[in-house]
Amino acid sequence: MKRIESKLPFVLAVVLSLASVRSGFARLALQRHWRETDSETIWTSRYNNCDYGYYVLLPRGVVGHDTLPPSPNHGFYIPLPDVGTTKDTADLKDRFIWVDASYNVTEAQSLAGLIDDKEKEGSKTLARTKTKIGGVPAIEITTEYKSEVRAVTEMETVALRAGIVYTIGMRTSRTNLTSDETEYRRIIQGFRLLKLPRGQCSNG
């Protein structure tokens, strides 16, 4: 009897410890990284997209802008150079980063074919490099073309998985390319893939 009683404090400690860990996981699972404004959905710390099986860890101070429900949830964008603004940026045109996931509705059956489709008529390809995002093969392409008022530089990193096209892109000018690319690389580093859902899912 004494031997059993001597083990009780240890057993209780283990049970309480497991309960604490489980409650911690529950809090993490329920933690919400978005809020809705009158015109947008704002993401901080982490962007979740369970529908297309990915998430992005957002660097400290970086805010992602998304549409409001019931609009389709494909991805988000970040204004440049003010990556931390929470103001409405729906009319953004010149400098920004975007992340998108969409089903492949083109005739291209390969990643290389998708990149060929992205080379705009009248644009100049500056670089085309094989890389990876989220552990899957990707291609990064840098192009330059003329807009109505200035020369535009675009960088896009594109991956293809299970019929879904993942794109991380940046639109900027040649003058701002170096500083804006730093932010672009940080978003690429935070990109992660999840298992694709079977049925409905929740982004928290």
In this predicted model, what pLDDT tens digit does every residue of 119-135 receive, in sequence order?
766 789 999 999 999 99
Predicted TM-score (pTM) of this structure:
0.82
Q: What average pLDDT does the chain have?
A: 85
The residue ranges of every structural domain in the chain are 1-31, 34-193
The class that CATH gives domain 34-193 is alpha beta
Residues 80-119: pLDDT tens digits? 999 999 988 766 668 999 999 999 998 888 999 999 887 7
Identify residue 196 by its one-letter amino acid code.
L
Q: Cα-Cα-Cα-Cα dihedral of 72, 76, 79, 81, to 10°?
A: -170
- Cα separation, 163 vs 113, in Å, equals 13
Confidence band, pLDDT 50/70/90 cuts, at residue 156: very high
pLDDT at 191: 98
- In this structure, what token pair is assigned to residue 62? 């970086």
Q: Does residue 104 contact residue 160 with C-beta atoms inside 8 Å?
A: yes
